[in-house]
Amino acid sequence: MLNNDLWVESFIVGALAMRCSVVTDLKTGDTVIIDGGSETQRIISWIEDFSGQGPDWFKGPSSFDTMNSFGLSRRKVIALVNTHAHFDHSGEIPYLLERYDVSWYLHPEDDYLQSLAQKSAQRWGFNLPTPAIADKQLEDNMTLELGSLKFEIYHTPGHTLGGCCIEVEVEDGANHLFAGDTLFAGSVGRTDLPFSGGDFNLLSHSVITKLWPLEGDTVVHPGHGPMTTIGVEKSTNPFVGVQSAAFAEFN
């Protein structure tokens, strides 16, 4: 995909300030929602009407006039994809599936965790619908072609058993990696959450072997917190960067 054809938006949503990413091909309007776990009506309204509170970060149009200037009159949501199944990332998927007749992709090792989404949210004082069931599976090293969009999938367990990172390649610019809670700016995902299969050694191995080989200028969209790049995190991340004990063990 060419850099000018890629339209990416970040919505920081819910009480846990989770990042939902919306990726659109400006040539075709094909749109994929990544981690649509909260404030789904806000996301739907913006995708369909540019109404309400827009994205917190975007690369692409922010109005119909700008979108029309690219020759695009509307967007079409063609799939939902999740990096993992903690409730802040997946709890409101049922509302998106009610609105859009599309498939939902999740790694199968997070199916059990997804079945607990409603109960997990209740422990935090949140009310969520009956958990959705993913009808499509993510697999390690698969190329996921969704309409005119193409993603590379990396299974990166450690925060959860089925955690994945999702990369979109850009021909004439930096790639984008939707990292969920695997990698943050200056940190990594928690490994102590119940029923998740968290394991720091496994998470470190995932990051070091799967993510550090990516291009250094790859833009990282973490599930929480500020955006960063692979190069910055590889150089400076105190948990998994090149100066860390984990890197010495797994490199």
| Residues 130-172 pLDDT 10s | 999 999 999 999 999 999 999 999 999 999 999 999 999 999 9
Q: What is the mean pLDDT of the chain?
A: 97
Which pLDDT tens digit goes with each residue over 16-67? 999 999 999 999 999 999 999 999 999 999 999 999 999 999 999 999 999 9
Query: The domain containing residue 214 runs over which residues?
Result: 3-250
Which residues are 22's β-sheet partners?
9, 33
d(CA 32, CA 168): 11
Domains contained in the chain, number: 1
Place of tokens 């958990």: 131
pLDDT of residue 189 exceeding 80, the answer is: yes
* pLDDT number for residue 250: 85
* pLDDT number for residue 88: 98
* pLDDT number for residue 149: 98
Q: Report the predicted TM-score, pTM, of the whole model to 2 decimal places.
A: 0.98
Report how far apart, in Å, the C-alpha atoms of 118 and of each of 37, 81, 90, 114 are.
Answer: 12, 19, 10, 9
Average pLDDT, integer, range 167-189? 98
Average pLDDT, integer, range 168-192? 98
d(CA 105, CA 69): 32
Band the pLDDT of 251: cuts 50, 70, 90. Answer: confident
Residues 186/237, Cβ–Cβ less than 8 Å: yes
d(CA 141, CA 25): 22
Q: What is the CATH number of the domain that holds 97?
A: 3.60.15.10
**DSSP tag of 110:** G
